[in-house]
Each structure stands twice: as structure tokens, then as C-alpha cells.
A and B are shown apart, each in its own frame.
Chain A
Amino acid sequence: DAKTTQPNSMESNEEEPVHLPCNHSTISGTDYIHWYRQLPSQGPEYVIHGLTSNVNNRMASLAIAEDRKSSTLILHRATLRDAAVYYCILRDRDNAGNMLTFGGGTRLMVKP
């Protein structure tokens, strides 16, 4: 499986935008870029995913580099509730049922 690299931790102020980076230099052409987050004492939660184009949903935006070797999850206005561990994970488009491989993720701390 292609691997991702994320900073261990990041800090943000409440109500400011947050940009969470992810490097995936060995990504293959059929890999989707997925982001999940895990709030304290909860299960992982799907945030967003994309293949080549930037994506927006109600939770976040995903900016994908043109060469697809990196991506950035953007939280437009961080709230205290966004404090969580954020995971960037690659999933093969064509491999049915394959599991998610979680790395260490980025622990986001949000200061009031």
C-alpha cells in the first residue's frame, strides 16, 4: 500500500482556518485520498475524499496537488469540537473491500 506522511501535531486558534498537510509521493493512479478524523474517545469519522480535483463538503475542503503527491485538508473555521486526530489514508479505487490502514495521523489542538 502507498504510504502517507503527516505531521504529528498542529495547533490552531478557534475560528481560524486550518491547513492539514499530507504527503503521499508513491500514490498510484487509482488511489483515492481519504481523510478521517477521530475525536477523543470516539470511533473514526469519515471527513472527505477525492481523486484528482479539489473537493468540498459541509465538513471540510480537500486540495489535491496537481501531481497528486500531496494533499491538504482545510477546515475553514476551526472550532473546539474540531480538536481530533486527522488521518490521511489512500484507498485503491478498484480493490473492493480493502481495509483502511491508519497511520499516526495529525493531532490537531484548537485553542480558544
Chain B
Amino acid sequence: EPEVTQTPSHQVTQMGQEVILRCVPISNHLYFYWYRQILGQKVEFLVSFYNNEISEKSEIFDDQFSVERPDGSNFTLKIRSTKLEDSAMYFCASNSQGRGNYGYTFGSGTRLTVV
């Protein structure tokens, strides 16, 4: 079964450093997403991406965050200057059509620890 692949599985970074989280969505999917989950809390939406541009973003997704699809396969989330409160699991997801009749496929996540 096709998978969404995320790398690395765990990243530790110093506060103030930039990090890039990488995702390879399912190849024929058109809609891409980032979510995060702080330990013990709900899964929260960050951003959705379609046709090489952001289609929706949450209040969490401020100027410190950016997304990019640099080539035909990768989808990245960059955090410019990490803060302690950015420590969380970050999940990438994709789906083929974006509409309500289609399910999302999520990756296994990247655990980001900011120290």
C-alpha cells in the first residue's frame, strides 16, 4: 500500500536554529498538509498546500513557518528560528482530491525536540 514517508524520524535542535522537516507524499496525490501534535495534546492543523501554493493555514502557522515543494516528490516544512514550544510530533499528510469523499494518508511523523 502506498505510504507517506517522513524524514528524519527524530530531530533535536538548539533553540533559534532552523530546521527542515521532509516528507514524500503519495505520488499521485495533489493535496498536501502539515499537522503537529504536542505531547499529550490534540492533533492540530498547520497548513494545506495545493498547486504549488498554500491554500489554507492556521494561526499556528506564523512567519516562522514555511512550506515548499522543491521538486515533484518532496514536500518540506521549514521552521526558521525554533522555539522550545515548537517541540512536537509533526505529521505530513496527503490526499488525492482534497474533497470530503477522500481519505488522508498520514506519515509516521517527525519528533522535533528543541533544547
Task: Give Cα distance in the complex from A83 to B91, angstroms.
Answer: 20
Interface of chain B: mostly helix, strand, loop or mixed: strand
Q: Is the CB of A43 within 8 A of B56?
A: no
Task: Give Cα distance in the complex from A103 to B44, angstroms.
Answer: 9
Cβ–Cβ < 8 Å partners of B99 in chain A? 91-96
Cβ–Cβ < 8 Å partners of A36 in chain B? 104
Task: Give Cα distance in the complex from A89 to B46, angstroms.
Answer: 17
Q: Is the CB of B31 within 8 A of A97?
A: yes
Cβ–Cβ < 8 Å partners of A102 in chain B? 35, 42-44
Q: Is the CB of A97 within 8 A of B43?
A: no
Q: Is the CB of A97 within 8 A of B105?
A: no
Q: Is the CB of B100 within 8 A of A91?
A: yes
Partner-binding segment picked from B14-22, B73-81, B106-114: B106-114
* B11 beta carbon closer than 8 Å to chain A: no
Interface residues on A, range: 20 to 34
Q: Is the CB of A92 within 8 A of B100?
A: yes
Q: Which residue of B lies closest to A38 (CB)?
A: B43
Contact of B33 among A93, A94, A95, A99 (CB under 8 A): A99
Q: Is the CB of A43 within 8 A of B108?
A: yes
Bits for A33-44, please: 1 = Cβ < 8 Å to B, else 0. Answer: 010101000111
Known: A43-B108, A99-B33. A31 touches B91 (CB 8 A): no
Interface residues of B in 30-53 (CB under 8 A from A): 31, 33, 35, 42-45, 48, 50
Q: Is the CB of A31 within 8 A of B42?
A: no
Contact of B106 among A43, A96, A98 (CB under 8 A): A43
Q: Which 6 A-B pairs give the minimum distances between C-beta atoms?
A: A46-B103, A43-B106, A91-B100, A97-B98, A93-B100, A102-B43
- B residues within 8 Å of A by Cβ? 31, 33, 35, 42-45, 48, 50, 55-56, 58, 89, 91, 93, 97-101, 103-109
List, sorted by A's number, 12 A–B pairs whose CB atoms are closer than 8 Å: A32-B100, A34-B100, A38-B43, A42-B108, A43-B109, A46-B103, A49-B103, A91-B100, A98-B98, A100-B35, A100-B43, A100-B45
